[in-house]
Amino acid sequence: MARLDELRGEAIREALRDCLSGVEAMPSQRDAVLAAVRGSRGASGRKLSVAFAVALALTLLAAAAAAAAWLGMRELVEREAVPLALQNDGAQVNETFTNEELAHIVAVAQENGVAVPQSLMEKLEAGEGYWEEETIMALAKAEFGPMPGRWTLEQQYWFEEAAVAIGFKDVNVKRVPGEGDLTYEQALSIAEAAIAERFGVDAAALGDETRYAVTRSYTEVEPGAFTWHFWFEPLVFEADEYVIELDRAGNVTEISGDAASQTPRGCEYILSFYEGAYGTPYDWDTALWVEFSQKIREAPDLETQVFAQGFARTDYLDESNLPQGALSRADAEAVALRAASGTGVDCAVLYDAEPNPVWKVTVTCAGADGEADEQRMIEVDAQTGEVRSQTVRTDDMNWHRLLVCEEAARQIEAEHPRHPEGLG
Amino acid sequence: MDDAQREARLVELLARYEKDVLRLCCATLRDAHLAQDAAQETFVKAYRALPRFRGESGEKTWLLCIAVNVCRDMRRGAWFRFMDRRVSLDALPEPVAAPLPEHETLTLAVMRLPRKEREAVLLRYDQGLQVREIAQALGISPSAVSQRLRSAHARLRRELEGGKAHGKA
């Protein structure tokens, strides 16, 4: 293996070239493309499914009968967003709503009390419109929840219909159980029992919503090939992780489990778990950093995981515990932006230090050459607002470096000179 | 632009970029058959879009942008991250010669990167796009591209250093 501190683009390029050397364009592929475009001429670029067309027609009829009736999210999508998307239909790839269209959708949503996610408002403010499917997804997530895989099967099916209606997808492979199918509850029960038997766990524990989030789907990817899929994703460290698939009759076709409860969680797992549960560390709040660092300190492999030692040696603080008069996160970010003439804040963490706690804020600044921006890490005294240090991030600095105590980072760099970038 | 002109243009695009598109789709979807479907879909969509293509970005960037979105669509179609959990090179086309073991390890690590980082890495290092072109293709700022590349490097280093490969993307 190439030395890791020498891992640069060329190594990646070489590796991909080697492993993808078998990729070859074939005449048959080219013929298929040409046949497809010849066949598509004159045909509508949109495929409005019968079911969705009926739903749309019913919605429009209902709307005509009661024009003042309030819309829910689904009606908003069916009555406003999809027709606008269809109206836009043309040759454009990756079709977007114009900002005017987006403004219209948002306005109707707000008039009707439909939740408009902040992300959409930001797109609107940016003034460049937004992808059609992402707009609908954002509205759906605001109502159904942030994880589409955890929506009900009916919600998943509805969204897929909308995606087909706007031309984003060609077919809807989602299914809602009907005649001849197991019910969702039956399928789930079979899945839990199979996992319990195979891995010797308590089936009831799998239904504990404080321990597991269940991602589910029922699909018919090929005609007649129905698949139930369940992923029991642990919400707590102590829980194992299971994936199982059933056929239409409930026979287990695939089952796997991570018997991690028998293996102490290492630093990699902990980081992966937190990233999966809470998203990118750049967005974590201060309380989460306190919790995460504690878990890292308890990891059995901490000593060998250089990347994690910065987290372990940083005494993170929860901002709600700061004394009165101390700088809030927003205050500290404003100080850092001013100090570095930054254009935006990337992340911020709060940790204990002498003589006062410190907010370490990373901001993006316009690069000198106008080509690439640079990042600067600013230490701001959480008590006085004084800027204590300012460090430019160099290309070989790991992302961890932005999120750990500066002093700890320097110690680790001194202890591990083999890793010139410091934290692994 | 009439149909004949459009088709002639499509044939040119296929001749120039079919392999690039296919490589990107293969590396993104990690499955040769899915990649073929995605590449076809990319060119069909490009054909539809040709009258609107005004050269604001390079044509390769434009095509790869379409391919990225087609691949996202296909991956999103699965709804869940199940496929990501079984990253392997087995479903890729048979290489011309057996790859070096370290190249396999690194390619697997690239394929295990989170989607956003993986897209940036593939466009940068496999397709040779500049940061600004990647920003156009992905619809994000150049600084966001730089950040994704940095994060990807860090993650790759971490994984290759011998940490437990958790296999989640």
Confidence grade of residue A153 (pLDDT, cut at 50, 70, 90): very high
Structure token pair of residue B30? 């990690």
Return the pLDDT at B157. 82
CB atoms within 10 A of CB B8: 11
Say if strands A344-351 and A358-365 run parallel, antiparallel, or are unpaired. antiparallel
B16 at A interface, C-beta within 8 A: no
Q: What is the pLDDT of residues A176-209, one digit of tens each?
A: 999 999 999 999 999 999 999 988 888 888 988 8
The answer to whether residue B90 scores a pLDDT higher than 80 is no
List CB contacts (< 8 A) between B85 and chain A: 243
Confidence grade of residue A85 (pLDDT, cut at 50, 70, 90): confident
A22–B49: do the CB atoms touch at under 8 Å?
Answer: no
Q: How far is A62 from chain B (nearest CA, A)?
A: 31
Return the pLDDT at A43. 38
Return the pLDDT at A313. 96
A34 or A279: whose pLDDT is higher? A34
Structure token pair of residue A295? 């878990």
In what side-by-side order are the strands of the sheet with A241-246?
A: A212-222, A225-234, A241-246, A252-258
Which of A284, A371, A395 has the alpha carbon at shortest distance from B153?
A395
Instruction: Give the chain A residue nearest B88 (alpha carbons).
Output: A19
B125–A92: do the CB atoms touch at under 8 Å?
Answer: no
CA distance A154 to B123: 37
Confidence grade of residue A35 (pLDDT, cut at 50, 70, 90): confident
Confidence grade of residue B168 (pLDDT, cut at 50, 70, 90): very low
CA distance A378 to A44: 55
Return the pLDDT at A6. 41
Structure pTM? 0.51
CA distance A40 to A46: 11
Q: How far is B142 from chain A (nearest CA, A)?
A: 7
CB atoms within 10 A of CB A40: 13
The answer to whether residue A422 scores a pLDDT higher than 60 is no
For A200, list phi and psi in degrees, rounded to 5: 65, 35
Strand extents, DSSP E, A237-386: 241-246, 252-258, 344-351, 358-365, 374-381
The answer to whether residue A24 scores a pLDDT higher than 70 is yes
A106 Cβ contact list (under 8 Å, min separation 6): A116, A120, A121, A124
Q: Give mean pLDDT, residues B102-123.
A: 87
Q: How far is A270 from chain B (nearest CA, A)?
A: 10
The answer to whether residue B82 scores a pLDDT higher than 50 is no
Q: What is the pLDDT of residues B1-53, one digit of tens each?
A: 677 888 888 998 998 899 999 999 988 888 788 888 889 989 988 887 787 67
Confidence grade of residue A306 (pLDDT, cut at 50, 70, 90): confident
Q: How far is B30 from chain A (nearest CA, A)?
A: 10
B110–A92: do the CB atoms touch at under 8 Å?
Answer: no
CA distance A387 to A349: 15
Return the pLDDT at B169. 31
CB atoms within 10 A of CB B39: 32
CA distance A151 to B143: 34
Return the pLDDT at A45. 40
The answer to whether residue B118 scores a pLDDT higher than 70 is yes
Q: How far is A398 from chain B (nearest CA, A)?
A: 5
List CB contacts (< 8 A) between B158 and chain A: 268, 307, 398, 424
CA distance A14 to A27: 27
Q: What is the mean pLDDT of chain A?
A: 82
B40–A395: do the CB atoms touch at under 8 Å?
Answer: no
CB burial of A252-282 (b: ≥16 within 10 Å; e: otherwise) equals: beebbebebeeeebbbbbbbbbbbeeeeebb
Instruction: Give the chain A residue nearest B43 (alpha carbons).
Output: A33
List CB contacts (< 8 A) between A11 and chain B: 106
From the list B14, B81, B151, the residue facing A399 with the nearest CB is B151
Confidence grade of residue A41 (pLDDT, cut at 50, 70, 90): very low
Return the pLDDT at A372. 53
Structure token pair of residue A86? 């269809």
Q: What is the pLDDT of residues A271-282, one digit of tens each?
A: 877 876 777 788
Q: What is the ipTM of this complex?
A: 0.85
CA distance B36 to A33: 10
A53 Cβ contact list (under 8 Å, min separation 6): A165
Return the pLDDT at A54. 53
Return the pLDDT at A378. 96
Which of A373, A361, A359 has the alpha carbon at shortest distance from A402?
A361
First to last CA, chain A: 16
Q: Give mean pLDDT, residues A337-352.
A: 91
A149 or B49: whose pLDDT is higher? A149
The answer to whether residue A247 scores a pLDDT higher than 90 is yes
Q: Give mean pLDDT, residues B71-83.
A: 52
Sign of torsion over alpha carbons B159, B160, B166, B169? positive
Q: What is the pLDDT of residues A364-393, one digit of tens each?
A: 887 655 445 678 999 999 999 999 999 988
